[in-house]
A and B are shown apart, each in its own frame.
Chain A
Amino acid sequence: MKSPALSAKDVRAGYGEADVLRGISFDLHAGEVLGVIGPNGCGKSTLVRALTGLLNLRGGSVEIGGRNLVALGARERARLCAVQPQTEAPVFDFDVRHFVLLGRHARRSLLGWAGSADRTAVENALACADLRGLAERSVRELSAGEWQRALLARALVQETPVLMLDEPVAHLDPGHRHEVHVMLRDLARNQDKAILCVSHDLNLAAEFSDRLMVMEDGAVRALGTSDEVMTDEILQEVFRCPSLRAAANPFTGRPGVFFAS
């Protein structure tokens, strides 16, 4: 079997005295979309920070493409793993095209001008994120949803085998939410990318993920296909909400989440 694109073994990390992640282990394979769900404060964003080296590990290890995260240089890491972070508000008036082009940093020499490969990648990413019409606009003039798509385009333009997204559709309308998730699934299928997607939209996560990881208090509560983990018992316990019910989507047959009262 092929080695995983990303492998986390007993990952522990946190802020101050407290451990937020208490031993997380999982593998993410090329061509797979792994949805990460869980209640507020369970450590989903901290997991993304730990997996990308933004937060030092207190224990365990992370391997990306078979290489230990700690041994990777900054530019090397950015060529292996791209991240769409949660919103970091823009301060300066970069236009959207230049903003997305900055995502190519790790693939360009320090002084080199953008080559044709860079420009093509930028145009493709702008098209994927439905931003071609806004390419000349200042990033400070974008709506929350447009800004989120610009962040997504910047991650796509890195052309990495691993892609991590921290709530990529939180500010998007239903049409764009669906579009982004279809695109992520296609990227995994057609380009063999390994995608980790943190989401609060349980229905979209269940619909478009190959596997789901349910987190609770900094640990993995359940990991498996959506049918395996989207059960009444797990949902009600993890989200502390007795009204939650899992039922099949009448159109696709995949599990969805509903409120019984």
Chain B
Amino acid sequence: MKHCPRIVLIGAGVIAVISAALCIGPTDLLDVRKLWDLVTGATRTAELERAALVLWELRLPRVLLAAAAGVNLALAGLLLQSIFRNPLAEPYLLGLSSGGALGAVAALAAGATVTIWPALAGSLAVAAIVVLLCRKRIAADLPSLLLAGVALGALAQAFTTALVLQFDPGAMRSILFWLMGSFAGRGWPEVWMLIPAALVGCVLVMLLHRPLDIIALGGESAHHLGVRVRALQLAGIALAAVLAALTVATCGTIGFVGLMAPHLARIMVGPSHAASAPAAAMVGAGLTVVSDLAARTLLARTELPVGVVTGALGCVFFLALLLRKR
């Protein structure tokens, strides 16, 4: 495959970014000897014990969670863009993220403390309603499916805002922080939820790489070339919904990664899914890890929601893309 060297290069870049994110923070781990002692466990001091705690219990799960979220959002975006033949499709546009946010906020309003399962239910419910609304016309009329997603997303957002206003100001702040996406305060349970999903997502998208190339040519062409169009559309939307729903449920709504990562991947390795799927997954991981690093280090005393950073990155990216096209 002609794009192998570039994919390896992207992989090396992502590993570098992840290493940097592990080392940089209030507890500085940018010390080779300290890292060596940590890994080998040769010497034990109070400072090293504290560094080990920071690395294994705080930073590693956070960085892995960010990377897995990036992979999931990138794959969901790639799937939706190919199936809808629309380079602007992403989990947000289908209302998946808004559905998850509504589920989580509704659960909080009802007094629940766990938001993962309600958020998951919210995202999947939106996906199911969108598909059911257009069930009979899914192959013939993809734009109406997108419009149904946009409409349901807007409705979910309206309900979410109405619910958020019912909370007292302190709770409202933490809910808004969650809504903008964050990897703070998450641990290994969330990591073990997202990483298997990311791996399964990668394997499934790679297995389907050629049918996805073909469906990106259009439903009619795909039918003539021997692809079961309707089955692939439903499977792709369902997979994107699960990946996005799990991410929203664990990390809140992180915008633009699902849009940027597939674009960047196609610019680097072309549109064929055999190359663009692994590239998008790695670029997605790199983007979220960098964004999270920026979110926790840009301001001295406080942390930004990661969605604020990805939003700003997305804006710069698309303006640059527009300027380049001109």
User: Using a CB–CB distance below 8 Å, which chain A residues touch chain B?
Assistant: 52-54, 74-79, 82-83, 85, 88, 90-95, 98-99, 102-103, 105-106, 108, 110-111, 154-155, 158
Whether the Cβ atoms of B225 and A105 lie closer than 8 Å is yes
> CB-nearest residue of chain B relative to A90?
B217
A81 CB to closest chain B CB (Å) equals 8
Whether the Cβ atoms of A105 and B214 lie closer than 8 Å is yes
Interface with A: B69-77, B265-273, B280-288, which one?
A: B265-273
A218 CB to closest chain B CB (Å) equals 20
Query: A93 to chain B: which residues have CB within 8 Å?
Result: 266, 270-271
Check if B187 is an interface residue, CB within 8 A of chain A: no
Check if B85 is an interface residue, CB within 8 A of chain A: yes
Q: In the complex the two chains form, what is the Cα distance from A94 to B275 in whole Å?
A: 12
Query: B82 to chain A: which residues have CB within 8 Å?
Result: 92
Whether the Cβ atoms of B224 and A79 lie closer than 8 Å is no
A17 CB to closest chain B CB (Å) equals 15
Whether the Cβ atoms of A106 and B226 lie closer than 8 Å is yes
Whether the Cβ atoms of B224 and A83 lie closer than 8 Å is yes
Interchain CB contact (< 8 A) of A105 among B86, B210, B270:
B210
Query: B227 to chain A: which residues have CB within 8 Å?
Result: 74, 105
A94 CB to closest chain B CB (Å) equals 6
Q: Which of the listed residues B207, B226, B228, B266 has the most CB atoms from chain A within 10 Å of its own CB?
A: B226
B176 CB to closest chain A CB (Å) equals 37
A-B residue pair count with CB separations less than 8 angstroms: 70
Given contacts A93-B270, A94-B213, A103-B225, 16 further A-B contacts (CB under 8 A): A52-B223, A52-B224, A74-B223, A75-B226, A77-B226, A78-B225, A78-B226, A83-B224, A85-B221, A91-B87, A92-B87, A94-B217, A102-B210, A102-B217, A102-B225, A158-B225
Q: In the complex the two chains form, what is the Cα distance from A95 to B275 in whole Å?
A: 14
Query: A77 to chain B: which residues have CB within 8 Å?
Result: 226
User: Using a CB–CB distance below 8 Å, which chain B residues touch chain A?
Assistant: 82, 85-87, 207, 210-211, 213-214, 216-218, 220-221, 223-228, 266, 270-272
Given that A93-B270, A105-B214 are known contacts, is A54 also in contact with B220, CB under 8 Å in the complex? Answer: yes
> CB-nearest residue of chain A relative to B87?
A91
A152 CB to closest chain B CB (Å) equals 13
Query: A53 to chain B: which residues have CB within 8 Å?
Result: 223
Q: In the complex the two chains form, what is the Cα distance from A105 to B273 in whole Å?
A: 14
B246 CB to closest chain A CB (Å) equals 26
Q: In the complex the two chains form, what is the Cα distance from A59 to B13 in whole Å?
A: 59
B169 CB to closest chain A CB (Å) equals 47
B20 CB to closest chain A CB (Å) equals 32
Query: B228 to chain A: which residues have CB within 8 Å?
Result: 74
Whether the Cβ atoms of B266 and A92 lie closer than 8 Å is yes
A57 CB to closest chain B CB (Å) equals 15
Q: In the complex the two chains form, what is the Cα distance from A88 to B272 in whole Å?
A: 18
Whether the Cβ atoms of A92 and B210 lie closer than 8 Å is no
